[in-house]
Amino acid sequence: AYKRLSEQGFEVAVLPVDRFGVVSAQALESAVDERTVLVSLMAVNNELGAMEPIDAAAKIIKQKNAPALLHADAVQAFGKYPLFPERRGIDLLTVSAHKIHGPKGAGALYVRSGVHLVPQTVGGEQERRLRAGTEPTIAIAGFGGAASVLEPGKHLPRVTALRDAFVRELQTLDDVVLNSGSDASPYIIHLSALHRPSEVLLNFLSENGVYVSAGSACAKGHRSPVLAAAGLDSERINSALRISLSDKTTEDELQYCLDVLRQALRVIRKKR
């Protein structure tokens, strides 16, 4: 999206991140000025689980007296954390159904009262004339059902405890290094099993009933721009695994994942 904006004549600043994928608040402050019209950040990075500086961004926009709208991609945060967009100075917030156990193909955009958007898809009256096309009614209803039973933040302490115990066991495994920071979202654990290609690991794990990923669906089949931006070397990128937890994850499931991962490290020969 930002490349298209650049092609349309907008000046786009892509901010650097640290080794855990956290956007630099200092770089953000330097980039925002009286000409800035939009600041867009993830609330939680979808690969490394980094908690991005949303509140700092809102404060910087206000301090710089910038006309910018603040957009938060909250797909990985929705239902897991209390969000309160208006209270936090968020003007636009995107969420997706499939991350809260709803159906794929439905999402939502929160628009703060007073913000007026130009439609990107025209030709119909749907969605308050903002997005033409027939709505997927069943998927939307499923999204509403999943959202109606959410209790944001309720499961965070339990999931954090599960993540911490899991990570302690991971740190005992040879050739396994963690890429997620200690203050990352506990719902995402990112690691590299050095010298074992991600694809081979994924196949072994899935054949044994463990389903994880090597990156985000957005970059499927391509080198992860998130990991490259975080400065990870080729070995860690090529052997990366992302393990996602949910409010329904159990201790037994994580123990089984560890057992299969240990087996994978023994069986899969190191690739030098």
- Which residue in this structure is represented by tokens 């004339």? 129
Closest of 123, 120, 92, 96 to residue 108, by C-alpha: 96
Q: How many CB atoms lie within 10 A of CB 216?
A: 15
Q: pLDDT by residue for the chain (272 residues), tens digit each?
A: 788 888 888 899 999 999 999 999 999 999 999 999 999 999 999 999 999 999 999 999 999 999 999 999 999 999 999 999 999 999 999 999 999 999 999 999 999 999 998 887 888 888 878 888 888 999 999 999 999 999 999 999 999 999 999 999 999 999 999 999 999 999 999 999 999 999 999 999 999 999 999 865 555 556 789 999 999 999 999 999 999 999 999 999 999 999 999 999 999 976 55
Integer-rounded Cα radius of gyration of the chain: 20
| pLDDT at residue number 69 | 97
Q: What is the pLDDT of residue 177?
A: 96
The confidence score (pLDDT) of residue 6 equals 87
Distance CA 173, CA 9 (A): 50
Decide which of 3.30.70.1290, 3.40.50.12160, 3.30.420.40, 3.40.640.10 is the CATH code for 2-148.
3.40.640.10
Q: Mind spelling out the 3-state secondary structure of 131-163?
A: ECCCCCHHHHHHHHHHHHCCCCCCCHHHHHHHH
pTM (global) more than 0.75? yes
Enzyme catalytic residues = 218
Residues 73 and 51: their CA atoms lie apart, in Å, by 11
Extents of the domains making up the chain: 2-148, 156-267
In whole angstroms, give the CA distance from residue 209 to residue 199.
15
Write the pLDDT tens digit of every residue in 153-189. 999 999 999 999 999 999 999 999 999 999 999 999 9
Topology (CATH) of 156-267: Aspartate Aminotransferase, domain 1 (3.90.1150)
